[in-house]
């Protein structure tokens, strides 16, 4: 191998190292942006949450009937404060805890 070939090989190796660094930094930066977007989406999804405690539990057997009861209760509760909530405004509802048989 000639001296010129060795120099070219070193130069190409150095340039490949530089390219590898740029690609690695870009990948890390893209990952940080992705994580920030996920965090922002999570914050936005919880921005309008309302948590109600001690809501009476429905005694209905079917899950869809219990959900309808919860939805009606929340709608009536919020409308009692004259906040102008429609059923379509409630995107998701979730009941926490263990279901009791006595409905309370």
- What is the tens place of the pLDDT at every residue in 91-100? 888 888 887 7
Kindly compute the dihedral angle of the four CA atoms of residues 74, 82, 54, 68, in this order, to the nearest 10 degrees.
-10
pLDDT computed for residue 104 by the predictor: 46
CB 55 within 8 A of CB 70: yes
Confidence of residue 103 (pLDDT cuts 50, 70, 90): very low
Euclidean distance between CA atoms 100 and 59, whole angstroms: 9
Q: What predicted TM-score, i.e. pTM, was given to this entire model? A: 0.53
Domain ranges in the chain?
1-47, 50-104
Please provide the average confidence, as pLDDT, over all residues in the chain: 87
Residues 6+ apart with CB under 8 A from 87: 71, 75
In the structure, what pLDDT confidence band is assigned to residue 89 with cuts at 50, 70 and 90? confident
């Amino acid at each position: 191998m000639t001296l010129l070939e060795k120099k070219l090989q070193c130069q190409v190796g150095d340039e490949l190292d530089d390219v590898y660094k740029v690609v690695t930094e870009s990948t890390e930066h893209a990952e940080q942006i992705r994580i920030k977007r996920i965090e922002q989406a999570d914050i936005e999804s919880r921005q309008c949450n309302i948590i109600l405690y001690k809501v009476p539990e429905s005694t209905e057997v079917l899950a869809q009937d219990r959900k309808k009861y919860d939805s009606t209760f929340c709608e009536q509760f919020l409308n009692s404060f004259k906040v102008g909530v429609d059923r379509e405004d409630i995107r998701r509802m979730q009941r926490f805890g263990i279901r009791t048989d006595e409905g309370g």
